[in-house]
Amino acid sequence: MFLAGIPIRDEYVLEVARLVRDPELAAKLERAVDRDVSVLALTLEERHAICESLGEHPPPGLGDLRTTLQQQLEWRRASGL
C-alpha cells in the first residue's frame, strides 16, 4: 500500500498500527490492510501521529516512511500551511 506517497509493505503498516497511540488511526490502518487498499489518504494530524510514534530511530522497514513524513511536515511548515 502507499502511505504518504511511498510504498509500504502490509506488515510494516500493521507495525505502525501497533505503535500509534491513536486507536482510531490504528483501526484505520488495520482496516486498510484487511481490505487490501492500494493508497491510503492520511490527514495532517495522522501524518504527525505516525511520525511521532516512529520516533528518532524507527523500527526496521519504517525509516523511509518516517523520513518522508518528516520532510512533508517540514515543507508544510516552511510554506506556511
6-29 pLDDT per residue, tens: 999 999 999 999 999 999 999 999
Nearest to 16 by CA among 2, 30, 34, 35: 30
Of residues 76 and 55, the one with the higher pLDDT is 55
Sheet arrangement for strand 2-3: 6-7, 2-3, 39-40
- Look over the chain and give the mean of its residue pLDDT values, rounded to a whole number: 93
For the cut 70, the answer to whether the pLDDT of residue 46 exceeds it is yes
Q: Which amino acid is at 32?
A: A
Structural domain for 29, as ranges: 2-78
Number of domains making up the chain = 1
Tell me which residue has cell 510514534: 53
